[in-house]
Structure 1
Amino acid sequence: MLRVLKFMLIAALLLALAWWVGTLPGDVTAHSGAYTVQTSVPAALLLLFLIALFFTLLLRVLGGLRRAPGEIGAWRGGRRAKLGEAAVQRALVALAAEDAPAARAEAGRARKLLGDTPMALLVSAEAARLSGDEAQTQAAFKLLSAHPQMGFLGHHGLLRHSFAMGDHDAAQAHALAAEAAYPGSPWLKAKRFELAVREGKFAAALGLTRAPAEVAALATAAAQRADNPQQALAHAKQAVKADPTLAPAILALAKALHDLGKLRAGQKALLAGWRAAPNPLLAQAYLAAAETPIARAQAAAELGAQNPGHVESELILAQTALEARLTGEARRHAEAALAAGAADGRAQAILATLEGHPAPARPRPGWVCTACHGAQAEWTPTCPDCHKTGSLQWRGDTAPA
């Protein structure tokens, strides 16, 4: 209804204007040489309007012809962009489906249509990586790394590629470049941590984690590799603070104190470790200074007093008593170990020796990974099987002897 009223109002105004022009009095005369043209004012105004309309249309046509090449190019560019975006989408789907030939074909089509745009380079690099084309993977990621806004993606890909190829020097360079492009990335922090651990740069890796198990393992390894006792002591204290039950950390602390001439403090560190978590490795270190079987038995008594009744305390007391030929004490402590839950065969072996029988086969003590459950004879800061840091825990029955 409003539209009808609006149309009628405009029509009425136009009719009124036309009527007013048509009633204008006077004539218009134009002379050109021998020619004279005379007409009324309304006719002259209509002629001027038609001339103005003609030139307006002419200018618009000429302007359209001048803009035609650019508009045609823009239309073709828009069409190529749409086709290129569709190719990128198909390449992403093929990558998700792990269809390497299709991914490479669509990625190539995308680069042909779009040029070396970030998305075209990204799908091209990932398609080449999926196909195993290392040279093309590196080349595409290198081009992407030069992009002002998307450079992190290029360094991200180059870092992964260098890591997979085992080129740690290149991986370190790309990690630093990626950090500059996108500071504080959690993924990058994890990769830098993994890289530092694999290169054995345990002190550097300590600054990239706060997990207690990882800190304890890395600080212990850093203490073992320290250039001087002072550095070793600092790292060992950090390790024991992170995990007071980790035997290698306690051993590293005791060794650092011993190397600094603080023998009594080193022995106290072993006693404190035994109170926290008795371990045969601590007993071996504490008894090392004892030169005779009786002295070893006395040292074992000092150690066992820190955690009386514990299986390991009873076992070390039984073993040293057996070595000192204190058969009654050896039997008493071996039976106490069995009563406390000893099930790895060490107590049975002591009792068998006392009875003159051959010792039964028993599991070999060692370390077990909490991540992959693999058994290891020696402690290392990372699991040799799954490379998890700080995952090895002591077990007295890891494998049959």
Structure 2
Amino acid sequence: MRRVFLFLIVAIAFIAGAWLLASVPGRVNATVGSFEFETSAPVAILAVILLVLAVIILLRVITGLARIPRSGAGWRRRQRVRAGEAAVTRVLVALAAGDQAGARKQARRARQLLGDSPQVLLLLAEASRLAGREDEANEAFRSLTRQKDARFLGLRGLLRQAIDRRDWAEALTIANQAEAVRPGTTWLRQQRAELALQTENWSEALDLIGQDARRTVYYTAAADAEPNPVRALGYAKQAWKEDPTFPPAVLAYARRLRVDGNERRARACVTDAWRRAPHPDLAEFILAQEPDKASRYEAAKLLTQRNETNPESRLLLARTALEAGFVSDARNQIEAVRAEGFNQRRVYLLLAEIEEQERGDTEGGRLAQRDALRLAAGADPDPRWQCASCHADHVTWQPKCSSCGGVATLRWVSEVGSSRTVPAIVS
């Protein structure tokens, strides 16, 4: 019904227009060169209208012909975009399926179709890295760094590559560049902290790392590495506060107190640590200042008086007593240790020395020494610093394992009887 109504309106308007055009009076004369035209006014008006319409149609045709190449290029561009987007989807599917080779192939095709867009470069880098093509991944990450908005993505990928190949100097340079692009990023702060640990920049690591169970180790290492004595004392004191039973921290603080002339405070810290958790290194610090063997024995008795039944205390007293010539005292301590089930190699080596001093070069003395050495061969190992990651043994404590590079992984391992392990630090 509506179409009929519209048709009637258009028809009426057309008829009215034709009637008005036909009712226009007059004639029109036109001369063009040697040609002369004469017609009625309605026909002339209709001719002008038709001429205008013809010109408009001609212009539209010419414009359409001119747009054909551009339209073809646009069509081809849209086709490339659709094909590129399909390749990106196939990359994601291949990565999810674990098809590294297929993901790399599709990522390279996506780059050909879509160019060096950040998304394509990132996918190509990840696919190449997973496929073992670090060179291609490196090139893609570097292309990302040349794009202002995607520079951080490229630097992050390059940083991860440098860390994987343990190129700490390069990693540190890239991390500083990334920090300049996006300062204060949590992930980057963690990476910079780890790099500080790997490059043994302990003071920077302390500034970057928040709450961490290994801070005692970091403070101790910073104290040992710091050339400024005031700052070194501050680091050492903080390490001791963090864990007053951790021997390296206690000794780091005590050594600096001794250098500053505060011997009394240094000995008090070490004595308190011995009372809580005896350790041979603590005893060496105390005995190092004694002028003779008898003084060492007296200093050992003073150190152990509040924890004298501990096996470490008994062994220290036995060794210093033996050095001072008090063989019977040394034997009493060794026998007490053995009665408690302490079965380490050093016990029997001390016993062999006792037999040698007490019995001399006699048949009974040689037999007693031989028995002690035989027991030592089958005894539990002596305590030592051992890496919790690679299980490498170390003569002295280090903040970083020289074998595997692990930070804060060294433990004081003591195998007593049933191979009991006493961790000195928890990393």
**Normalised TM-score (structure 1):** 0.80
Aligned residue number for residue 395 of structure 2: 377
Identity in percent: 39
Hey, what's the Cα distance between the residues in 2 that align with 1:331 and 1:211?
48
1:108-187 aligned at under 5 Å gives the runs 108-129=108-129, 135-187=135-187
Aligned residue number for residue 266 of structure 1: 266
Q: 1:295 to 1:146 in 2, by over 3 A?
A: same
- Please tell me whether the aligned partners of residues 275 and 306 of structure 1 are also in contact (alpha carbons under 8 angstroms): yes
Long gaps (5+) in structure 1:
1-7
Aligned residue number for residue 12 of structure 1: 5
Long gaps (5+) in structure 2:
30-37, 356-367, 420-427
Q: Deviations over 1:330-369 (max 9, x none)?
A: 3443344446563434445445654543341341321233
Hey, what's the Cα distance between the residues in 2 that align with 1:379 and 1:306?
26
Q: Post-superposition shift, 1:236?
A: 0.9
Hey, what's the Cα distance between the residues in 2 that align with 1:189 and 1:155?
14
1:220 aligns with 2:220: yes
Hey, what's the Cα distance between the residues in 1 that align with 2:57 and 2:275?
100
1:194 aligns with 2:206: no
> AA paired with 1:12?
F
Q: Matched residue of 2:88: which SS?
A: helix
Aligned residue number for residue 87 of structure 1: 87
| Aligned mate of 1:35, from 17, 34, 39 | 39
- Please tell me whether the aligned partners of residues 274 and 282 of structure 1 are also in contact (alpha carbons under 8 angstroms): yes
Q: Tell me which moved more, 86-95 or 315-324.
A: 86-95
> AA paired with 1:366?
R
Hey, what's the Cα distance between the residues in 2 that align with 1:67 and 1:340?
101
- Please tell me whether the aligned partners of residues 245 and 276 of structure 2 are also in contact (alpha carbons under 8 angstroms): yes
- Please tell me whether the aligned partners of residues 257 and 266 of structure 2 are also in contact (alpha carbons under 8 angstroms): yes
Q: 1:20 to 1:141 in 2, by over 3 A?
A: closer
Hey, what's the Cα distance between the residues in 2 that align with 1:54 and 1:385?
91
Q: Matched residue of 2:401: which SS?
A: coil
Q: Post-superposition shift, 1:175?
A: 0.5
1:293 aligns with 2:293: yes
Q: Post-superposition shift, 1:282?
A: 0.7
| Aligned mate of 2:407, from 372, 389, 401 | 389
Q: Post-superposition shift, 1:218?
A: 2.0
Q: Post-superposition shift, 1:154?
A: 0.8
**Normalised TM-score (structure 2):** 0.76
Q: Matched residue of 1:393: which SS?
A: strand
Q: Post-superposition shift, 1:92?
A: 4.9
Q: Deviations over 1:355-396 (max 9, x none)?
A: 543341341321233345444333221233443322211113
Aligned residue number for residue 233 of structure 2: 233
Q: Post-superposition shift, 1:174?
A: 1.0
Q: 1:354 to 1:91 in 2, by over 3 A?
A: same
Hey, what's the Cα distance between the residues in 1 that align with 2:137 and 2:63?
48
Hey, what's the Cα distance between the residues in 2 that align with 1:331 and 1:202?
45
Q: Matched residue of 2:160: which SS?
A: helix
The count of aligned residue pairs is 387
Q: Post-superposition shift, 1:254?
A: 1.3
Hey, what's the Cα distance between the residues in 2 that align with 1:104 and 1:302?
71
- Please tell me whether the aligned partners of residues 98 and 130 of structure 1 are also in contact (alpha carbons under 8 angstroms): no
Q: Deviations over 1:47-102 (max 9, x none)?
A: 99999988877766565555444443333222212222333344455566776654
Hey, what's the Cα distance between the residues in 2 that align with 1:335 and 1:56?
120
Q: Deviations over 1:302-336 (max 9, x none)?
A: 21124343332232223323333434433443344
> AA paired with 2:142?
K
